[in-house]
Amino acid sequence: MESNHLIELENITKEYSGDKALDNINLYIRNGEFLTLLGPSGCGKTTMLRIIAGFTMPSEGKVYMDDKEVTHVPPYKRRVNTVFQKYALFMHLNVFDNVAFGLKLKKMSKKEITNRVENILELVNLKGYEKRWVEQLSGGQQQRVAIARALVNDPEVLLLDEPLSALDKKLRKGMQVELKRMQQAVGITFIYVTHDQEEALTMSDTIVVMNEGKIQQIGTPADIYNEPKNQFVAQFIGESNIIEGIMLQDYMVSFKGNVYECVDKGFERNELVDLVIRPEDVDIVPLGSAPLSGVITNVIFMGVHYAITVNCNEFSLMVHTTDLVPVGEHVSVQILPDAIHVMKKPKEVSEFEIVMDEEKE
Amino acid sequence: MKRTFFSTPYIVWMIIFIVVPMLFIFYSAFIQDGHFTTEFVNQALETPLYISVLIRSIVVALIATALCLLIGYPVAYILSNMKKSTAAILSMFFILPMWMNFLLRTYAWQVILADNGVLNMLLTTLGFAKGSFMYTQGAVLLVTVYNFLPFMILPIYTILSKIDRSHIEAAHDLGANSANTFFKVVLPLSVPGVVSGITMVFIPAITTFAISRLIGGKKYPLYGDLIEDKIVASGNLGLGSVLSIILLVLVIISIVVMHKMEAEQGNEEGGTLW
């Protein structure tokens, strides 16, 4: 076991009356990283967080922290603190006493407590709010108190359970940047649970994509976005066109009757594969200047770009572009080699299709 | 038509059955033969018997309230930690007696506590000596606690079951063991329930008269018995009215104190019955 593995999950399974919320999870978390557990609701990400916090016991498997097994250690003996989804601030205490709650239990001196609370409130930009009651604070401020209350205890790991989900979009964006800043300032490990892929991509060092109790992919945000391992990840992270194709040979793939150059290799000859083509990697060009052609059936203004649907005979392609092309126009679509990402076909095709259908709702 | 129109029957009801009787009480307390008088007030405050009965009433009500709290809080706490369906069935058992008339329940206790009653039968079959339970202060207290216990359990149970689990988890997360979590988080958060429980037990307990009459006999009269005695038996409306006003003032003071206690708690999450 390497020393920078702060937390290790070994063969973790959690069953709720026969249903597997987590299915044989193996994961290590490095010291000081910002790790995000990302997935749709019910994928097991919150269960995983609760197992690390100690609120939930796994049905099988072991949890290690600092190379010591902590599977059955109660939460109050773990050097882990949690920021809860609905903050769970103590309404009967003011901001200072909320933040000082953990320190007072450790029987620290008054001076030391005051010192640490002041410092942490400064970190979360809440200086001067000590005497306020929780209910007098806005959602964003309550959020900061919750973070301060957890961080002030000097945990080795801070667990955050969808902490931004109750905030409005603008506030959420601001808090994302701030959370990252706080994490870098205190230099401890953050484990962050979210279903929002944008949040995950913005803040994380490592993203763990989960679905149906299983880890789908672990990687940096860029890895996950550019090299999705399977259909589920491709579909869940960003928008994608997923098209079935045939890998003719290394660096050459055919789909919908055309042959394209690509940057992937290592597949069998004529293997049936899935292709991910990100809408922003596709270009609309004048009719005839690329092999694939179609008619524009839908244009939606998205602010920065237009989301354009091109109907190419038997399938539609989503294209994101800043150029407005009117509906009904016949165009060609240019797909360059590095726009095509080839994935192995999943073995259980039907399972993924079900998930994708749910996602579209 | 204004919507306030529909409240008219209620307002009329209130005037006839609450405001007018109150005015009537105040009138007979301070007016005698068309003249203002403080004679009844002096009587009420200077007769040692009345004062000692008042003190007994306060003491009995305080002890009954304390016992209800001591029994009721743990019961409510245990109920709130149970599965919702189990708790619903169990709390039915506490509510069930309330479906029956208060006087009937008290009469039932007479049957249990009487010299040849159920309790003594049980004791003799078990080989113990017979005891005399009726007409004791302990019996009055027991029946008072029995009658008012549900009013303590229900508000506390309601507020405890509304406490978000995440608060308890947050306390554990911050290093609190079970005892710390209870005293620093659960108990403070349940204060509004405790306050309304105390109010709902203390006020009826201090004004009760049937229990002391039926269970305590004439030996341990409470203030309510005194009022009833003066008005119904002696026909001394003036003195009875003054005693009623004294009790009313006492009730108002206790309500104000309760509200103060709750306000000091700082949080008004609602969910109380007052």
pLDDT tens string A168-199:
888 888 889 989 999 999 999 999 999 999 89
Residue B163 touches partner A, C-beta closer than 8 Å: no
Nearest Cα of chain A lies from the Cα of B183 at a distance, in angstroms, of 12
Asked if the Cβ–Cβ distance from A92 to B176 is below 8 Å, we say no
Could you give the angle at which helices B237-264 and B48-80 cross, rounded to 10 degrees? 40
What sign for the dihedral angle of Cα A224, A227, A229, A234? positive
Mean pLDDT score of chain B, rounded to an integer?
Answer: 89
Interface residue of A91, A132, A151, A158 to substitute, partner B, most B CBs within 10 Å: A91
SS3 A144: helix
What pLDDT shows up at residue A359?
43
Token pair listed for A150: 């957890």
Summary mean pLDDT of chain A:
89
Residue B8, phi then psi, degrees to nearest 5 = -55, -50
Based on the fold, state whether residues B136 and B168 are members of the same structural domain: yes
Which phi-psi region, left, alpha or beta, contains residue B17 (left: φ > 0; alpha: ψ -120 to 50)?
A: alpha
Tell me whether residue B271 is in a domain: no
pLDDT at A360: 41
Residue B269 in domain: no
Q: With CA atoms as reference, report the closest residue to A66 among A9, A3, A157, A12.
A: A3
Number of Cα atoms under 13 Å in the Cβ half of residue B153 = 23
CA gap B87, A358 in Å, rounded: 37
Q: Name every chain A residue with its beta carbon within 8 A of the beta carbon of B166.
A: 84-86, 88
- Model confidence at B41, pLDDT cuts 50, 70, 90, reads very high
Exposed e or buried b per residue across B33-55, where buried means at least 16 C-beta atoms within 10 angstroms of its C-beta: eeeeeeebbebbeeeeebeebbe
How many other CB atoms are found less than 10 A from the CB of residue A159?
Answer: 25
**Residues B143 and B11 grouped into a single domain:** no
Bridge partners, residue A274, by sequence: A244, A343
Q: Using the predicted structure, report yes or no on whether residue A123 has a pLDDT greater than 50.
A: yes
pLDDT, residue B92, reads: 85
Å from A218 to nearest chain B CA?
A: 27
Provide CB contacts within 8 A for B211, sequence distance 6+: B106, B140, B143, B144, B147
In percent, the amount of chain A with pLDDT more than 70 equals 95
pLDDT at A3: 58
- Cβ–Cβ gap B166/A85 under 8 Å: yes
Q: Does A76 touch chain B (CB under 8 A)?
A: yes
At A353, the pLDDT band (50, 70, 90 cuts) reads very low
The answer, yes or no, to whether ipTM is higher than 0.95 is no
A234-293 residue pLDDT tens:
989 888 898 989 999 999 999 888 899 998 888 888 899 989 999 999 999 999 888 888
Segment B213-242 shows an average pLDDT of 89
User: Rounded CA gap, B228 and A59, in Å?
Assistant: 66
Could you tell me if B34 and B54 lie in one domain?
no
Residue B68 to residue B58: CA distance in whole angstroms = 15
Cα separation, B261 vs A84, whole angstroms: 30
pLDDT greater than 90 at residue B195: yes
What pLDDT, on a 0 to 100 scale, did the predictor assign at position B1?
59
Residue B172 included in any domain: yes
Mean pLDDT of A192-219: 93
Alpha-carbon separation of residue A224 from A43, A217, A230, A234 (angstroms) = 17, 7, 10, 8
Does any domain span residue B210?
yes
On whether both B34 and B119 belong to a single domain, the answer is: no
Mutation for testing the A interface, residue in B167, B169, B173, B268 having most A CBs under 10 Å? B173
Q: Which A residues, 30 through 59, put their C-beta within 8 Å of a C-beta on chain B? A: 53-55
A 10 A CB-CB count for A293 gives 16
Same domain, B217 and B115: yes
pLDDT at B76: 94
Under an 8 A CB cutoff, do A82 and B269 touch? no
Taking a contact as any Cβ pair under 8 Å apart, which residues of chain A between 270 and 329 contact chain B? none
A53: tokens are 């916090």
Q: Is B166 in contact with A84 (Cβ distance < 8 A)?
A: yes
CATH of the domain at B239: 1.10.3720.10
Confidence of residue B270 (pLDDT cuts 50, 70, 90): very low
The reply to whether B193 falls in a domain is: yes
What is the predicted pLDDT for the residue at A227?
A: 87
* Residue A36 in this model has a pLDDT that exceeds 90: yes
Question: Cβ separation of A92 and B164 shorter than 8 Å?
Answer: no
**Hey, what domains does chain A have and what are their CATH numbers?**
5-226 (3.40.50.300), 241-360 (2.40.50.140)
Q: Give pLDDT, residue B210.
A: 85
- Do both B161 and B30 map to the same domain? no
Same domain assignment for residues B97 and B155: yes
Q: Which contiguous run of DSSP H or E holds residue A336?
A: none
pLDDT at A288: 86
DSSP B159-186: HHHHS-HHHHHHHHHTT--HHHHIIIII
Residue A355 has pLDDT above 80, yes or no: no
Tokens of A215: 């880890």
How far is the C-alpha of A23 from the C-alpha of B237, rounded, in Å?
Answer: 80
Question: Are residues B160 and B113 located together in one domain of the fold?
Answer: yes
Task: Count Cα atoms within 13 angstroms, Cβ side, for B191.
Answer: 19
Smallest Cβ distance to A102: which of B175, B189, B266?
A: B175
Tell me if B234 is assigned to some domain: yes
Tabulate helix, strand, coil % of chain B (nearest 5).
Answer: 80, 0, 20
* pLDDT at res. A166: 81
Q: Cβ contacts (< 8 Å) between A99 and chain B: which residues?
A: none
pLDDT band with cut points at 50, 70 and 90 for residue A90 = very high
Number of domains in chain B: 2
A133 touching B (Cβ < 8 Å): yes
The residue length of chain A stands at 361
Same domain? B28 vs B105: no
Can you tell me the mean pLDDT for B64-82? 95
For tokens 């009801």, the residue is B13
Q: Going along chain A, which residue ranges are E strands?
A: 5-16, 19-30, 34-38, 60-65, 68-69, 80-83, 157-161, 189-194, 206-211, 214-219, 241-249, 252-255, 258-261, 271-277, 282-285, 292-301, 306-312, 315-321, 330-335, 340-344
pLDDT at res. A19: 87
Reported confidence tier of residue A347, pLDDT bands at 50, 70, 90: low
Note the pLDDT of residue B194: 94
Please check the confidence at residue B75 and state whether its pLDDT lies above 50.
yes
Q: Does B184 touch chain A (CB under 8 A)?
A: yes
Region B104-112: what's the mean pLDDT? 91
**Using 50, 70 and 90 to split pLDDT, how confident is the model at B269?**
very low
* pLDDT-based confidence at residue B265 (cuts at 50, 70, 90): low
- Dmax of chain A from CA atoms? 78
A234, amino acid identity: A
Strands A206-211, A34-38: pairing kind? parallel
| Rounded Cα distance, B175 and B99, in Å | 45
Who wins on pLDDT, B73 or A313?
Answer: B73
pLDDT at A200 over 70: yes
- Any domain includes B178: yes
What is the span of the domain harbouring residue B207? 50-264
Instruction: Please indicate if any CB of chain A lies within 8 Å of the CB of B159.
Output: no
Say if residue A350's pLDDT is above 50.
no
Contact A84 B169 (CB under 8 A): yes
B224 domain-assigned: yes
Interacting residues of A204 by C-beta distance below 8 A, sequence separation 6+: A34, A35, A36, A192, A220, A221
